[in-house]
Structure 1
Amino acid sequence: MSLFARLNGMLFGVILMCFLSNLITNIQESQNYLEEQLDSHSQDAATSLGLSLSNIIGLEDIAMIETTVNSIFDSGYYHSIKLYKIDGTPLVIREYPTQVEGIPNWFIALFPLNPPTNQTEINDGWRIVATMKIQSNPGLAYYQLWQMASNTFISSGIIFVLALITGWFLLRIILRPLNAMEEKANAIADKDFSPITMLPKARELRVVVEAFNRMAAALKRNFDEVSIYAEKMRQQAFMDILTGFGNKRSFMSKLALELESKKSGNSGVVGLFQLQGLQALNEKHGYQEADRHLKALSMKLKQSFSEHPQSSFFRLQGAEFAVIMPNTDIGILEQIQPLLNQALKQADTDVAGAFVRYQEGQQCGEVLAQLDNQISHSLQNGCQVSVASDERQATQRTDWHGVIDNILVNQRIHLVFQPITDKNKQVLYYETLTRFVDEQAKPLNTGDIFSAANRINQTMALDKAIFLQVLNTLKQSSQVTLSINLAGSSLADEAFQAFIFSELKQEEKLAKRLIIEVSETSANHFLVALKALVAGLKQSGAALSIDRFGTSFTSFSYIQSLKPDYLKIDGSYIRQLEQHKDNQFFLKTLVQIAHGIDTKVIAEHIETQAELDTAQELLVDGFQGYLVAKPGPLAN
């Protein structure tokens, strides 16, 4: 129970006690007053009636005596009048039952009125000849007591309610800084170190708030220092400082991962660019001018691929640059090639460019040899971008619109699932992997399908179909949690977000077993739009996962803004993890930062026992790869 609730309870109890004590005290005082009035009333009547009877008691005229007694008794204000001779013989007995109408019995039982019986002696001269006893009727007194109690209850009740409301508002105002401190404590746990701006007037609370702010500032410095140091070490190990691209080591690791991926015919495009005459430029104008050309070329390359945020850029050595475009076919270069040729011609020196298509299962040496061959073609053609022909692609898929429409209309989408397990081999969740088949039920290349869908603006339609199929799987399998990797361009679209939230609202129980995955490159590219998505997912109960984390050399700060539930480390950091101290340091630091914001870290592409053991030593939370389990149906 919160402090505010406890104080409210105490305030309610105190005011209630005051209310009840005031009510009961007033009733009891009125009760005593009415009993005194009844006593005085009966005593006055006894005295008056005794004097009247003294004049006629010696005549022994019973009729006259009764008439005199009745004249008093018939007023209705007396419960009983009893006249006895001195020897105890009754002369006149009159009794009237106490009648109380409209007053609850419980009230009479709680506050009884006991009017005393007053007695007087009647004399005949100097001789006492009779005694008389009179008791007042409490009926009217009960009515007056009830009316007084009702009025007191109403007036005290109004004061009671007003006091409660006033006390509630005062407590809200006084304890508002405590609410801010509670929110700040939760924010600090999520690595949000912004200060509390509202300082309370109460000295004790102000001191606590100021201490909170100092603590938050110190924690922010520590967190920033760790993040900056980790980023710096990662950049030194994997990034070219001049251009901000990945270095040769990063390129070779990324390409090897793409070729060894084992994700249903993983494929893409790799490009190589060579700036000609760099050595001569360096000798003639100095290294600063040469660096300016290299930075200018890197910016032109990035601008040319701005519509493809999944692309990764690298500077290999000297004047060589490379780009890797996962899930991309040669056909998409038809859109890029003219713009790229135009951009490269604007460079101050010639730039040769070449693209080849890679396929899962190829060797790195084979792909690099094809690139070298295509670079030679580019040089021979006046540094025009050279693209290796892909006869299989050209002859097998001539109508991508028809292929994808057929997939959507006939639901030719098959789902398989690969588990992510913890160190105890307990399944955390299953990643959903998509497979496509044609009319003859023959498998299609997944990378080709997604690449073509992107080229003909069908990515969102494809993502919707996959999303609905995953929800249907969750309905059929009530014990599992599934993740689904969706395109960043789809997730950033307001209409697609509305579609997701609408479906999750209808299936609230399913939302808690759903994880939405988005790649790091997409998360950075669509960061502003994805913040709205994250807010909606948190509200519905669904989780967010950042896939292929580490492929972009960006600050860790965006993790704080998105606060994902999971971070999946790009497999290029996991490949031969036990042999690379830099990768181990990066992963260890990332685990510390992620755990600080209650985010779990997943290592994917675990293929060897050594990789698994090293990842476990670095306190990674989950593990995925062929060593852990192969993709398959949920039944397996």
Structure 2
Amino acid sequence: MTLFRQIYALLFGLFLLTITSLAYIQITQTQRFLTKQMHSEINNASHSLGLMLTPVLEAGDNSAADTLVNVIFEGGYYQQIKLTWLVDGTQQLWVHPMQVNEVPQWFIDLGIFHTIKKETVITSGWLQLAKLEITAHPGLAYNELWQIISNTVILFAVLFLIAILLARLGLTWILRPLNQLSQHAEKIALRQFGPELPTPKTRELKHLVIAFNNMSTQLKQVFNSLDSEVSELRNKNLVDQVSNLPNRQYMVSRLTSWLSEPSSGALFLAKFGWLEEVHRKYGYQVRDETIRLLAEKLHHHLDDISPSVVTRIAAYEFAFIVGDQEHEQLTKYLQTLIRTVNQEVTKAGGKPNENFAIGIAERTPQSTVSEILSQADNALQRATMTHRVFTWFENNNKQIFSREQWRKHLTHAIENKQFHFKWQPVLLTTNNEICQREIYCQLHIEGNTVPAGQFMTYVELLSIGTILDRCLIESLNDKHIFDKNFEPVAINLTIESIASYDFHQWLKQFLRNHSHPERICFEIPETCVYNDLSACKHLCHIIRDCGAHFGIDHFGRQFGSMNYLQHLHPSYVKLDQSFAHIEDNYNNNELCRALVNVAKGLDIQVIVTGVQTKAVIEQFEKLRLDAYQGFIMPPVAIDEDNH
């Protein structure tokens, strides 16, 4: 029970006790007064009637006695009058029925008023003439007492309601600082640090709120310091200090992560010999400033063509990872890159299309890091030797379908729900038990098994991500995959679905109608959080409100603040696969440790991905990670899984 309800109940009880006591005193005093009044009336009636009957009794006139008694009996409130003649024992009896109007019978049956009788002997001198017995009728007393009780109850009820209303309003106002403190404490428990609470005027609450604000400020500073530590370590280990671009170490780790995901695109390697000429003519300071300006221009122009990772991997060499694009878009990217470089070459006093070369290697489904680096470098060397601006590495692996053929196959597969599923377990580091399973899909087209890596690029290009996600979720539900195990099933959402508010509403309806929403997890790429935080907030609120779970995928890949974790508060985060391939050195371990501390400081489960050997698990043991996932336990077809 809350403090408000406890105080409210105490005041309610005290007020009820007070009202009950007052009502009891009022009713008791009224009962005593009415009893005394009946005694007084019956005494007066007995005395008066005795004086009136004396001459009639001396005369022995029965009719006159009857007339006199009737006058008194009808004019008073008596239950019975009995006159006994002592001369011959004759009795005369006058009786009034025990009926009381407008008073409930149950109230009369309580017997609040006892029978009151008065017996007197009428005498004449020393001669006893008759015995008179009068019994009072309690009807008037019951009627008066009932009216008083009814009015009292109504009055007290009105006062009670008014008092309760005023008490509620008063307590709400008085305890408002405590209520704000409670809400603030709940937010802090979720590591959501808002503005400081206003200081109340009540002395006791004032000191409590001040202490709480100080504690909240200190916790906020701790989290901000962790976030700052992550930024500092990233800048120190993964950023080139001259260009402010990611360095070679980041490029290799990002390349590893990119090739392990379903995607397409190409790797560009560029060698800008004109920068060496700038260095020779003007010195390293002008060269460094030129590199910095070049990096800004590259970001400014290339980001409009396609999202990419631009890195500086050597003094005069740059690498560009362009994902989720087919050859036509890669060509536009190359043209924009050449045009941007030529502008900077011209500004530096050089000639366009001279003293720089670019090598391009397109990704294939079987590409590895060493292969694609070798292919891009081979293309770069040929461009340099032949004095060409760029060279594409000749790859004999052609796309199995054109864009229109992909549209046809994907549309047909979505309409007929022809996707097949695998799942990969996520294991707890403490006991190797399965805590969730991640879903992977594939297609069978013309007798060939096509993994998601080959068609997801076309899903984005054809803008059918929302339709695909709905199809996959419905297919999983139709096949009762959510019911196969008690462990949650994780589903990766496309960028289009995350940004679509129509999809949000559909998902809300689906989860509300599902019998086990707690067994469903949705994974959101970190890049989506940075690109559209408001849409992610809206989607995450729906998922949490419906009882499902969500996590952040590729955690730590992007360069930016981790403050979004306070806004979203996911159930878990999955470290980017690049961390499983980063070289084992002190700085890299510290960066990973800082990322883990940020997440665990918000009570978020941390899962490392891309684990292929037990050695990698041992490397992460000291970081207190919660779970791991990778090809150490590869995906299996759901129908073949024995779990």
One fold, TM greater than 0.5? yes
Q: Show CA shifts across 1:534-561 (max 9, x none).
A: 2222222222211111211212222222
CA distance in 2, matches of 1:71, 1:398: 118
**Any conservation in 1 of the 2:362–2:393 contact (CA below 8 Å)?**
yes
Contact 1:231–1:556 under 8 Å retained in 2: no
Out of 334, 340, 352, the residue aligned to residue 337 of structure 1 is 334
Aligned to 2:550: 544
Check 1:494–1:297 CA distance in 2 against 1; reply closer, same or farther (3 A cut): farther
Q: Larger deviation: 47-56 or 109-118?
A: 109-118
Letter aligned with residue 485 of structure 1: N
2:93 matched to 1:96? no
Aligned mates of 2:612, 2:462 — CA distance in 1:
35
Deviations 1:569-603 (A, max 9, x none): 012112377x3333433333333321222211111
Indicate which of 388, 400, 414 corresponds to 2:420: 414
Moved more, 173-182 or 222-231: 222-231
Provide the C-alpha distance between the structure 2 equivalents of 1:89 and 1:493, rounded to a whole number of angstroms: 109
Give the aligned partner of residue 600 of structure 1: 605
Instruction: Select between 325-334 and 129-138 the one with higher mean Cα deviation.
Output: 325-334
Do the aligned partners of 1:488 and 1:526 also contact (CA within 8 Å) in 2?
no
SS in 2 for 1:21: helix
Partners of 2:402 and 2:395 lie apart in 1 by: 11
Unmatched runs of 5 consecutive residues or more in structure 1: none
* Paired residues of 2:528 and 2:536 also in contact (CA < 8 A): no
SS of equivalent residue, structure 2 residue 135 = strand
Cα deviation code 1:45-82 (max 9, x no counterpart): 11110111222223333343333323322446101223
Q: Alignment partner of 2:612: what SS?
A: coil
Whichever residue aligns with residue 294 of structure 1, its letter is I
SS in 2 for 1:121: strand
More displaced stretch, 568-577 vs 428-437 = 568-577
Q: How far is the alpha carbon of 1:369 from its aligned partner?
A: 2.0
Confirm or deny: 8 A CA contact 2:364 2:397 kept in the other structure. Answer: no
Q: Closer, same or farther in 2 for the Cα pair 1:385/1:130, shift >3 Å?
A: farther
User: Which of 314, 318, 325 in structure 2 is aligned with 1:317?
Assistant: 314
Query: C-alpha distance in 2, partners of 1:144/1:25?
Result: 16
Deviation string 1:330-354 (CA, Å, 9 cap, x unpaired) is 4541442333332232223654323
Farther off after superposition, 542-551 or 490-499: 490-499
Instruction: Report which stretch shifted further, 429-438 or 245-254.
Output: 245-254
Look up the match of 2:295.
298
Q: Which residue number in structure 1 is paired with residue 615 of structure 2?
A: 610
Match of 1:493 among 500, 505, 511: 500
1:157 to partner: Cα distance: 0.7
- Pair 1:494–1:127, CA change in 2 (3 A): same
TM-score normalised over the length of structure 1: 0.91
In 2, Cα distance between the equivalents of 1:92 and 1:308?
A: 122
Quick check: 2:523–2:550 contact (8 Å CA) kept in 1? yes
Task: State yes or no: 1:186 paired with 2:149.
Answer: no
| CA distance 1:249–1:163, change in 2 (3 Å) | same
Cα gap change, 1:364 to 1:628, in 2 (>3 Å): closer
- The Cα shift of 1:360 comes to 5.5
Q: Specify which of 508, 526, 531 is matched with residue 525 of structure 1.
A: 531
Alpha-carbon shift at residue 214 of structure 1 (Å): 1.1
Structure 1 distance, partners of 2:50, 2:207, is: 81
1:497 & 1:335 partners in 2: Cα distance? 34
Q: Does 2:254 align with 1:248?
A: no
Q: Which amino acid aligns with 1:428?
A: C
| Residue pair 1:330, 1:356 contacting (<8 A) in 2 also | no
Q: Deviation of residue 136 (structure 1)?
A: 1.4
CA contact (8 A) 1:574 1:611 kept: yes
1:607 positional shift? 1.3
Q: What displacement does 1:530 show?
A: 1.6
- More deviation, 66-75/28-37: 66-75
Query: Which residue of 1 is the match for residue 452 of structure 2?
Result: 446
Which residue identity lines up with residue 563 of structure 2 in the other structure?
A: S
**Corresponding position of 1:24:** 24
Q: Which residue of 1 aligns with 2:352?
A: none
Are positions 1:626 and 2:631 aligned together? yes
Give the aligned CA root-mean-square deviation in angstroms: 2.8
Q: Measure, in 2, the Cα distance between the counterparts of 1:566 and 1:305.
A: 33
Q: What secondary structure, in the 3-state scheme, does the structure 2 residue paired with 1:463 have?
A: helix
SS of 1:119's partner is strand
> Counterparts in 2 of 1:375-454, with a 5 A limit?
375-379=380-384, 384-394=389-399, 396-397=401-402, 399=404, 400-422=406-428, 423-438=430-445, 440-454=446-460
SS of the aligned residue for 1:444 comes to strand
Shift of 1:485: 1.1
Cα distance between partner residues in 1 of 2:403 and 2:621: 47
Summarize deviations over 1:219-250 as a string: whole Å, max 9, x none.
Answer: 11222122212331233222223334322122
Q: Which amino acid in structure 2 is aligned with residue 550 of structure 1?
A: G
Change (3 A) 1:106 1:237: farther
Structure 1: distance between partners of 2:140 and 2:574? 85
> Structure 1: how far apart are the matches of 2:411 and 2:620?
42
Q: Could you tell me the percent identity over the aligned residues?
A: 28
What's 1:514 paired with?
A: 520
The alpha-carbon deviation at position 126 of structure 1 amounts to: 4.0
Which of 534, 548, 573 does residue 540 from structure 2 map onto?
534
Partner residue, 2:221: 221
Instruction: Give, as a single letter, the amino acid of the residue that structure 1 aligns with 2:560.
Output: T
Partner-residue secondary structure (3-state), 2:253: helix
CA distance in 1, matches of 2:222, 2:399: 55
The alignment partner of 1:39 has SS state of helix
What is the aligned residue count? 630
CA distance in 2, matches of 1:304, 1:503: 41
- Deviation sequence 1:347-392 (CA, Å, 0-9, x none): 2365432321234654533322211122234446766443334443
- The CA distance in 1 between the partners of 2:307 and 2:522, in whole Å, is 17
CA spacing shift, 1:378–1:183, aligned 2, 3 Å: farther
Please give the secondary structure, in 1, of the residue aligned with 2:423: strand
In 2 relative to 1, CA 401–48 (structure 1 residues): closer, same or farther, beyond 3 Å?
A: same
Aligned to 2:565: 559
1:574 aligns with 2:571: no
Work out whether residues 471 and 510 of structure 1, in 8 Å CA contact, stay in contact via their aligned partners in 2.
no
